[in-house]
Amino acid sequence: MLMAILIVSVLAGLFGLLLGFASIRFKVEGDPIVDQIDQLLPQTQCGQCGFPGCRPYAEAIASGEADINRCPPGGETTVQALADLLGVEPKPLDAEAGEPSDIPMVAVIHEEYCIGCTLCIQACPVDAIVGAPKQMHTVIADECTGCKLCVPACPVDTITMEPIPPTPENWTWPFPDKPYIPITVETAHEQ
């Protein structure tokens, strides 16, 4: 009985020593600026910035991939602190942060303002907008892919993107990142 306790304790102690030694011997020097940015973030790991946690967001800021204004839980104070640390101008919070940008959207033409210029019809890559010159246009919602290409094309700014709320009817299993693309003669040539 005593022997068993002793052996398991010694074993645990040995493993502890091994891990302690490894953590010193194989210590990875982190980027100090990443640590400083990480300390300013609220550590809620909410992912509203579009990164999987505060640390990845801090790394993205340090490498210049992300702006400093994408942290809603931190609010203006965090933006201010980050701006002071990095020596850049503080910015207002990014409105896009806080809602996932990949929710399905559909273009809507507010028809009372449409002047019938047909510019959006030419911009639409999937022919989801119907209309004729000097006639009001409209979007076929089922065909719209939500690509937003028609929004800048409209001279009177009457096209807006509306989110499609998920319902049991339109919810589908999310696609994998790289959808299956069958190799045909055309795609084989492209590769």
Q: Which residues bind another protein (CB under 8 A)?
A: 3-4, 7-8, 11-12, 15, 18-19, 22-23, 26-28, 172-180
CB of 39 to another protein, least distance (A): 21
| CB burial string 122-161: b at 16+ within 10 A, e below | ebbeeebbebeeeeebebeeeebebeeebeebbeeebbee
User: Six-digit token pair at 105?
Assistant: 């959207």
CB nearer to another protein: give 13 or 75. 13
Nearest to 44 by CA among 90, 68, 75: 75
CB nearer to another protein: give 18 or 103. 18
- Residue 27, amino acid: K
CB of 191 to another protein, least distance (A): 18
Residue 120: CB atoms within 10 A of its CB come to: 24
CB of 5 to another protein, least distance (A): 10
CB nearer to another protein: give 125 or 176. 176
CB nearer to another protein: give 169 or 186. 169
CB nearer to another protein: give 165 or 179. 179
Residue 42: CB atoms within 10 A of its CB come to: 14
CB of 19 to another protein, least distance (A): 5
CA atoms within 13 A on the CB side of 30: 12
Distance between CA atoms of residues 175 and 167, nearest Å: 17
CB of 32 to another protein, least distance (A): 17
CB of 148 to another protein, least distance (A): 24
Residue 41: CB atoms within 10 A of its CB come to: 21
CB nearer to another protein: give 15 or 113. 15
CA atoms within 13 A on the CB side of 90: 14
